[in-house]
Amino acid sequence: MNRPIGIGGAILLSLVLSACGGDESSSASDKQQGQQKPPTQAQVLDVKARDIGLSKTYPGMIRSDQEVTVMGRVEGILEARHYREGSLVEKGDKLFTIEPAPYEATVEQRQADVQSAQAELYRAQRDAERYARLYKQNSVSQQQRDQSQADLRTAQASVAQAKAALDSAQINLSYTEVNAPVSGMISLSEVNVGNLVRPPQQLATITPLNPIEVRFSLPADDAFALRRQRQRGAKEADAAVLTAPSTGSATREPLKLSGELDFLGSRVDENTSTVQAEATFRNQDGLFLPGQFVRVTLPNVKRYGVFAVPAVAVTEGLKGPQVYIVNADGKAEARFVSLGEVAGDWQIITQGLDSGDRVVVSGIGSISPGDKIDPQPFSGSAEDPQDKAGENPSQKADAKGGEGAEGSQDKAQTDGGQNGAN
């Protein structure tokens, strides 16, 4: 009975050892397969200097440089107001009437003075002609002739003086009718009808609403870039877009106007390191008003000769923002970089990359340092440029050496971004 049991135990022991041996060979096989992991396919961008467009946004305030204060220029009772307060008026429209009667009487008096002076001039001219004939006949002395000539000149001066007084009176009479010097929206009346107007007294304010101007300040670097573009004849550098954020809602985009940059300051403010600028916009509907705070976007601010990679290629490492490059052995290698500005889906790199480096731009989440890379040509598509500023942790404002994503708004043009990608 002991023998069969011994045979059964031997068989069982053999099975156990066989199983253990099978596990060891399976583990060794898996380890061998891990060492022979196939290269990871990923798109790779060859780094080289390129020109890239940025969209820069700045806060500003609407102005109306042609705003006019309507003043009373003659004294008198305000007889009438001819406009509706807060309405749009056209240049030349009648606004106020100041009692004209005293000034009409003055004009009539000055007209009479002119007629009297002209009559005296007629008499002096006839006397001068008669004395000139008598002097030739030796009937009067030279002194008498000279006196007649002097009386003639005095009469001529009196006529000129009377006409000047008449012109002044007519001007004062015209001031009794106050007309709009410019077109625009008129304010409330500062003087009620029936009150005495004493010059110079403010009667109302007219604010032209088309066009409108927006003054804002931009960093010195942006001003330098715009000047370079202007020197190169890039007219698109003057394009500007006005946006009023407060006019947007959940179902409607904020109101916008298209215009152009018409002034770029000639000096840098020492306190803020900014340059003053002004853009002009057509405000056909009169919806935007002076004093309103808005945002001005310059969509075509270029940076020349910079290194840029798709923003998806930048990740946050232990020491800061990093990218993966393919080294000479064909393996992924982490490279720490300093970030510049964001241009839509493109990230400008200020330090850490050299011309000719090969940066991995796809499948970043599945790649680790040391992985073998099967490089694929970059498709040249970092998607359409969109405002993704701030979504990537590597684009934070305190990222190593970088300016962060602040300042990149709306759409950005990536001129040369695709053409330079191989």
Give the pLDDT score at 110.
Answer: 97
Question: 101-174 maps to which CATH number?
Answer: 1.10.287.470
Domain boundaries, the chain: 41-53+304-395, 58-64+210-301, 67-98+176-207, 101-174
User: Is cis: bond before 59, omega within 30 of 0?
Assistant: no
Q: What is the pLDDT of residues 366-398, one digit of tens each?
A: 888 999 999 989 887 654 333 333 333 333 333
pLDDT at 222 over 70: yes
**Within a 10 A sphere around the Cβ of 182, how many other Cβ atoms?**
16
Q: Angle 101-136/142-175 helices, nearest 10 degrees?
A: 160
Residue 313's nearest CA partner among 50, 45, 40 is: 45
- Superfamily, domain 58-64+210-301: Efflux pump adaptor protein, beta barrel domain (2.40.30.170)
Share of the chain above pLDDT 70, in %: 81
Give the residue among 240, 320, 309 at the shortest CA–CA distance from 60: 240
Question: Would you say 339 and 321 are in contact if contact means Cβ atoms under 8 Å apart?
Answer: yes
CB atoms within 10 A of CB 48: 16
CA distance 237 to 248: 27
Residue 158 contacts residue 121 (beta carbons within 8 Å):
yes
State which CATH number among 3.40.50.1580, 2.30.40.10, 3.20.20.140, 2.40.50.100 fits the domain covering 67-98+176-207.
Answer: 2.40.50.100
| pLDDT of 58 | 95
**What's at 198, amino acid-wise?**
R
Q: Which amino acid is at 303?
A: R
Q: What is 18-71 written as a DSSP string? A: HHHHHHHHHHHHHHHHHHTPPPEEEEEEE---EEEEEEEEEEEEEE-TT-EEEE
H or E segment and range at residue 176: none
Integer-rounded Cα radius of gyration of the chain: 44
pLDDT digits (tens, 9 = 90+) for 51-110: 888 899 999 999 988 899 999 999 999 999 999 999 999 999 999 999 999 999 999 999
Q: Let me know if domain 41-53+304-395 sits in CATH 1.10.10.10.
A: no
Classify each residue of 119-149 as buried b or exposed e, where b means 16 or more C-beta atoms within 10 Å of its C-beta: ebbeebeebbeebeeebeeeebeeeebeebe
Neighbours of 200 (CB within 10 A): 10
